Amino acid sequence: MNCKAPRGTHDIFGINALGMSILEQKSKQIFIKHGFEEVRTPIFEDASLFTRSIGQTTDIVEKEMYVFEDRKGRKLALRPEGTASLVRAYIEHRFDVSYPSGKFFYTGEMFRYERPQAGRYRQFHQIGAEFYGSLSPSADAEIILLACDIFSSVGINQIKVHINSLGCQKCRPLFRASLIKYFSSVSDLCRDCTRRLQTNPLRLLDCKIDVHKFTDVPKMEKFLCQDCKEHFNLTQTLLKSVGCAYTVDPKLVRGLDYYTRTVFEIRSDILGAQDALGAGGRYDNLVKELGGQDTPVVGFALGSERVLIAAKKSGFFDNLNKVEKIFIAIADQELFSTAFAFCVKLTRNGLKGNNNISVFGPVDNKSLTSQLKFADKIGAAKTIVFAKDELEEGKVLVKDMKDKTQSEVLISALL
Ligand SMILES: [Zn+2]
Ligand SMILES: [Zn+2]
């Protein structure tokens, strides 16, 4: 049998598992402060949900989705991102009626068939939030600031916010037409660009192969209608008002079809490349396109694995408040049940009120020497030894495993 995880997947354990939980906890705390509520959607959905929302001509739908048929021949897909599922849930359960604040967040596994590389997996984790029902630029600013706060909560402070506006249904077609005209004049476009030229010309803006050929590309800024211009300006004013530094980046288009107006990416130099830790934007037509009421939305998602790499490089893991490991040993076999009962009390009450502990032992039928060796192996900070003579006086031996000192302590003083 092949005992390896499938290509592009990974097991998360040890410090990485701890980091993942901390990132999720910190994010949840921040979401809750901003009034966002959690929604957990299924890992698979009807494949058509993603093709309709993300767009037929995007990389995700064209090459990266895990699509399969179930036993009844239904065409399903593992979710490649969280937005489409959340919009589906919003429409299905009439969240517009039951949750008028319109603020939701999610965390969970996503699936994309991509070439595996550092921090990119075929099964990966995202944390995201979406704000439904507000056309105000303050919703855009809140989402961007919320994302920044999550990064700084795990020690990532060197971040760069890139923002752009892609306009609306009124003004984007003019920009699109001007892009098609411009790109048609460029010779030797790469295969992807040639294919996308008519269907999705915005995507050519972020082509890594042809980028040097694109000088003097038309900018969306020039085509923004009055409403879009005001929206973009006010979003920026709000970001400035709380000291959030950002760069207006006309090349930022994002890979998904559903964006309107604001798009943003949050990058960090810590990762070396220009890759984003998180990204998002506004999608004012998506709910309606998927069959709901006309509802504007702005949201973002971050890739947990990439954020954790950056957090690690920022030294966040060095400062984690680690738990104290305590091993319970027995010098006499007959004290096993007494020691076991003590362990249970310790896990319930903590050691002198300290609940940040992990309790190990007792083990049967091992010499005290081998018990102490095991305590060292697991990195115990303290070993508490139950021995007959001391126990008669209500005491145990507490060994400090680091400096090898020991003292007799009353059991009542430990609990
Ligand atoms: Zn517009
Ligand atoms: Zn290209």
What are 346-390's pLDDT values in tens digits?
999 999 989 999 999 999 999 999 999 999 999 999 999 999 999
- The whole-number pLDDT of residue 273 equals 63
The pTM of this model reads 0.90
Q: Which residues surround ligand 2, an ion (CB under 5 A)?
A: 190, 193, 207, 209-210
Ordered per-residue pLDDT tens for the chain, 415 residues: 789 999 999 999 999 999 999 999 999 999 999 999 999 999 999 999 999 988 877 788 888 999 999 999 999 999 999 999 999 999 999 999 999 999 999 999 999 999 888 778 999 999 999 999 999 999 999 999 999 999 999 999 989 999 999 999 899 999 999 999 999 999 899 998 998 898 888 888 888 898 888 888 999 999 999 999 999 999 999 999 999 999 999 889 876 678 899 999 999 988 876 678 999 999 999 999 999 999 999 999 999 999 999 999 999 998 786 789 999 999 999 999 999 999 999 999 999 989 999 999 999 999 999 999 999 999 999 999 999 999 999 999 999 999 999 999 999 999 8
The number of the ligand nearest the C-alpha atom of 224 reads 1
Ligand 1 midpoint to CA 405 (Å):
73
HEC assignment per residue over the chain:
CCCCCCCCCCCCCCHHHHHHHHHHHHHHHHHHHCCCEECCCCCEEEHHHHHHHHCCCCHHHHHHCCEEECCCCCEEEECCCCHHHHHHHHHHCCHHHHCCCCEEEEEEEEECCCCCECCECCEEEEEEEEEECCCCHHHHHHHHHHHHHHHHHCCCCCEEEEEEECCCCCCHHHHHHHHHHHHHCCCCCCHHHHHHCCCCHHHHHHCCCCHHHCCCCCCHHHHCCHHHHHHHHHHHHHHHHCCCCEEECCCCCCCCCCCEEEEEEEEEHHHCCCCEEEEEEECCCHHHHCCCCCCCEEEEEEEHHHHHHHHHHCCHHHHCCCCEEEEEEECCHHHHHHHHHHHHHHHHHCECCECCEEEECCCCCCCHHHHHHHHHHCCCCEEEEECHHHHHCCEEEEEECCCCCEEEEEHHHHC
Ligand 1 centroid – CA 299 distance (Å): 19
Ordered structural domains, the chain, with CATH: 15-171+224-317 (3.30.930.10), 180-218 (no CATH), 323-414 (3.40.50.800)
Q: What is the per-residue pLDDT across 298-319, written as a single tens digit (0 to 9) for each?
A: 999 999 999 999 999 999 998 7
Find the ligand nearest to 171 CA: 1
Distance 200 CA to ligand 2 centre (A): 12
- pLDDT tens, residue by residue, 43-67: 999 999 999 988 877 788 888 999 9
